[in-house]
Amino acid sequence: MKKSHISIPKPKSKFLKVACSECGEIQVIYSHASTSITCNSCGNEVAKSTGSIAKLYGKVSGNAE
Ligand SMILES: [Zn+2]
C-alpha cells in the first residue's frame, strides 16, 4: 500500500499583534474577531469585523501565540 502525503491542517484562526496606525500601541487581535476593535490608548479603530477574517488597519507585528 502506497503511503500518501498527509497534510497537517493549519489552524484557521490566530491571535495577531497589530500596531495602532495612530499611536503605535500594540493591540492583540483575534484574526476572526466578531466585533470591531479599537486602540486601548487612543480609541482609533485597529480592526473591523467582516464576518470572517477581521480587516486590520494597523501594521501586523507578529503572531501572539
Ligand atoms: Zn492608538
> Could you read off the pLDDT of 8-33 as tens digits, one per residue?
777 678 999 999 999 999 999 999 99
Taking residues 49-56, report their average pLDDT.
92
Is the per-residue pLDDT at 1 higher than 70? no
**Beta strands, E only, the chain:** 15-19, 26-30, 37-38, 45-48, 55-56, 59-63
Distance 28 CA to ligand 1 centre (A): 12
Average of per-residue pLDDT values in the chain: 90
Express as a percent the part of the chain with pLDDT over 70.
Answer: 95
Q: How many whole angstroms from its chain centre is CA 54?
A: 7
Question: Amino acid letter at 18?
Answer: V
Q: Which residues surround ligand 1, an ion (CB under 5 A)?
A: 20, 22-23, 25, 39, 41-42, 44
Is the per-residue pLDDT at 49 higher than 80? yes
